[in-house]
Chain A
Amino acid sequence: EIVLTQSPDTLSLSPGERATLSCRASESVSSYLAWYQQKPGQAPRLLIYDASNRATGIPARFSGSGSGTDFTLTISSLEPEDFAVYYCQQRSNWPYTFGQGTNLEIK
């Protein structure tokens, strides 16, 4: 099973700041990595698929990069609605797996 490790566990920032979230895979997932945002009581929302492609309707302030084992989600300038939990997820091999999540909180 491919293990995804996200860092940091918690990120405290203010609106307007830049957020950088990391995801490291225990083995290569090529570019088969997605990023999800989840708010309390809601289903996950796809932000980025295949490492760097924004999903439909996702604002341009969200961007993804990386390949192989190291990936990054960047939010260029945080909006109040961006504070949430973020998960990376791989679909390279079954079982598909998620990282443990990064809680992006307001400082």
Chain B
Amino acid sequence: EVQLVESGGGLVQPGRSLRLSCTASGFTFGYYDMSWVRQAPGKGLEWVSFIKSKAYGGTIEYAASVKGRFTISRDDSKSIAYLQMNRLQTEDTAVYYCRRDLGCSGGSCQDFWGQGTLVTVSS
């Protein structure tokens, strides 16, 4: 069974840092692109960042709103994806979801999401 478990969220003051982790199980982590998607309270979804599998060069992208402040990385040996968040701003307050890219079997595809971890940036 595929599982993604986020951790590392919490209350942090503006300007401080936080590192989120996404621990995966039930699949070969290194084969898949991984992403972080966030949702501010009562708002819609925003794709924050993704990191491709090493087979696809490990390409990384960031949303403009976090570029230069957030860093995504992965440790395939531990099946963990990370999101290092620096210089946090109040507008970064959101539930952060970890997402595994589509995997296909028997002619159908599916992605997987964690349960989310809440990051609150406030003084």
Per-residue CB contact flags for chain B residues 34-64 toward chain A (1 = under 8 Å, else 0) read: 0001000000111100100000000001011
Task: Say whether B109 contacts A98, CB under 8 Å.
Answer: no
Complex: how many Å from CA A94 to CA B47? Answer: 10
By beta carbon, the residue of chain B nearest A49 is: B109
- Please determine whether B45 and A44 come into contact, CB atoms closer than 8 angstroms: yes
The answer, yes or no, to whether B110 is at the interface (CB within 8 Å) is yes
Contacts A56-B109, A98-B44 given; indicate if A43 touches B63 (C-beta within 8 A). Answer: no
Quick one: which of A43-58 are within 8 Å of B by CB?
Answer: 43-46, 49, 53-57
Number of interface residues of B (CB under 8 A): 20
Chain A residues with Cβ below 8 Å from B114 are 43
Assuming the contacts A56-B105, A101-B44, asked whether A94 and B113 have C-beta atoms less than 8 A apart, the reply is no
Chain B contact surface mostly? strand
Given the complex of chains A and B, what is the CA–CA distance between A6 and B68 in angstroms?
31
Chain B, residue nearest A38 (CB): B45
A18 shortest CB reach to chain B, Å: 24
Give the complex CA separation of A78 and B115 in angstroms.
26
Map CB proximity to B onto A69-99 as digits: 1 under 8 Å, 0 otherwise.
0000000000000000001010000111111
Contact A53 B108 (CB under 8 A): yes
Interfacial chain A residues near B45, Cβ < 8 Å: 36, 38, 44, 87, 89, 98
Task: Answer yes or no: B111 CB below 8 A from chain A CBs.
Answer: yes
- Say yes or no: B108 contacts A54, CB within 8 Å: yes
> Does B70 interact with chain A (Cβ within 8 Å)?
no
Whether A97 contacts B113 by the Cβ 8 Å rule is no
Give A101 to B43 CA distance when docked, in angstroms.
9
8 inter-chain pairs at a CB distance below 8 angstroms, sorted by A residue, are: A44-B113, A45-B113, A49-B109, A55-B109, A56-B110, A87-B44, A89-B45, A98-B47
Q: Which residues of chain B have a CB within 8 Å of any CB of chain A?
A: 37, 44-47, 50, 61, 63-64, 97, 102, 105, 108-111, 113-116
